[in-house]
Amino acid sequence: MAMTKDEMKKVVMAKNRDYTRLILVISASIFALFMIFALMNYTEQVDWSMKSLPHFDINEDGVIDERDPYGEDTNEDGIIDSRDVFDGYDSDDDGIPDQGQTPLQRFLNFLFIGLGFMLGPYAFYVSKKQADIEAIEKRLPDFLRDVAEAGRFGMTLADAIVVASSGRYGSLTPEIKKMAAQIEWGVPAGETLRLFAERIDTPLVNRVVTIVVKASDAGGSVADVLTMVAHDTKEEQLSQAEREIQMSTYLAVIYISFFVFLVTIIILNLTFLPKIRIAGTNVALAAEEAGIAGGVGGASLDVSSIPMIQIAFFLASMVHAVGDGIMAGVLQNGSIANGMKHSVILLVLGFLILTLV
């Protein structure tokens, strides 16, 4: 079905818009804003903790007060057996935490949130572009075979492309219509194919177009060349699909290993470190009551480094998420940009799990 002049003009003038630069500028601006928030929290100008301080009515008088700074005697046997106050931060050194998280933890929170906003839009946009290109390349062998069949009936390459433009090729259809419109407006078939290769700009499309154009310029049976190229392209796509299926196993291993790492950290944060804190607190209290310096029997437990250990666990999880995601993308299809998508997914999941648990 022939297109009208207005339709052909719209197709010819239409360009594939690339928003990569705009997305990068906006993402960098958002990251800079979150870095300002991070520095404000680090310098204690504001307290935007991701965890709230728990408050309790300790003496059951109807008044909400802070939890005992040394812990709780849950079974009322005179021994402090619950975890220390809570994972808060004592900004005024009065013995009772008054901020939900330390300034360093709040800084890291906003740093990684900003990093997610910086990587996320770019990664998903590039991933969407790659998916669109893959959809176009997937139908390319069908288009080449149809052009070859038209060429066997004596049509020139230009006429065969115009005839094939009436077919349905999914995501490739708009590009074919664009080529047909350019040919009907007097653009040579070779130049039309070259412009098509510039718009898609992938190794596969560039190789196919180069072969077809050279065969057309050399004369002879272009149909045979098109058939051969279509067959080779299809075989390459099948091999690539098979490799991606095999790599999906490694992708699953990376995700599973990351969540195993997270579970290990959660177990340490919820069981091991609180027990160490309780033991250290009890030793310090016993030594204080007995008037013994340096602990009981010369033994003591320094629990002051526990918050830094928890921050180290959090930092390791976030770095683990970014690195594992990039590795997953490289293993899947050799693309670092696609890996950033996995990095953002792991970053968000890891951050939410460690913050909420």
pLDDT tens digits, one per residue of 88-127: 677 777 666 678 788 999 999 999 999 999 999 999 998 8
Mean pLDDT score, 54-75: 55
Given a cut of 50, is residue 162 above it in pLDDT? yes
Q: Are 199 and 175 in contact (CB under 8 A)?
A: yes
Residue 82 pLDDT level (bands cut at 50, 70, 90): very low
pTM, to two decimals: 0.76
Q: What is the pLDDT of residue 296?
A: 45
Residue 94: what pLDDT? 65
Per-residue pLDDT tens over the stretch 165-198: 888 888 888 888 888 888 888 888 888 888 888 8
CB atoms within 10 A of CB 200: 19
What rounded mean pLDDT belongs to the chain? 80
